[in-house]
Structure 1
């Protein structure tokens, strides 16, 4: 499982999706959490959002995206076979 950290909403999501599989996780961080307002994110795996970034931006998450704590982020990072920062 790859953990892909996305930090900007202007990233090339089509390119990102081409390297991802259904077993990968996409973590929306920083301003990338604004992507939750997009009708459908073109990502084959599960999409998560960093709870602190969601809270600071006063965003309501759809049911399809789960907020995770900083501690959960650390655990996911430690258990992932790869950690990628996509911007």
Structure 2
């Protein structure tokens, strides 16, 4: 499982999706959390959002995106086979 950290809402999602598989996780961080307003993100795996960034921007998450805490982020990072930062 790869953990892909997305930090910019203007990132090339087509390139990102081409590198991802069904068991990968996409973590929306920083301004990328605004992508939750898109009807559907073209990502084959699960989409998560960092709770602190969601709260800071006062965003309500849709049901298909789960918020995770900083502690959960650390655990996911430690358990992932790869950690990627995508901006």
Which bracket does the TM-score occupy, shorter chain normalised?
Answer: over 0.9
1:22, distance to aligned residue in structure 2 (A): 0.4
Q: Separation in 2 of the partners of 1:18 and 1:7?
A: 18
User: 1:79 aligns to what?
Assistant: 79
User: 1:26 aligns to what?
Assistant: 26
Q: Separation in 2 of the partners of 1:22 and 1:86?
A: 18
3-state DSSP of counterpart to 1:22: coil
Structure 2 gaps of 5+ residues are none
1:51, distance to aligned residue in structure 2 (A): 0.0
Structure 1 gaps of 5+ residues are none
1:23, distance to aligned residue in structure 2 (A): 0.2
Q: Separation in 1 of the partners of 2:70 and 2:19?
A: 25
1:16, distance to aligned residue in structure 2 (A): 0.2
Alpha-carbon displacement from aligned partner over 1:63-83 (angstroms, at most 9, x marks no partner): 000000000000000000000
Q: Say how many residue pairs are matched.
A: 87
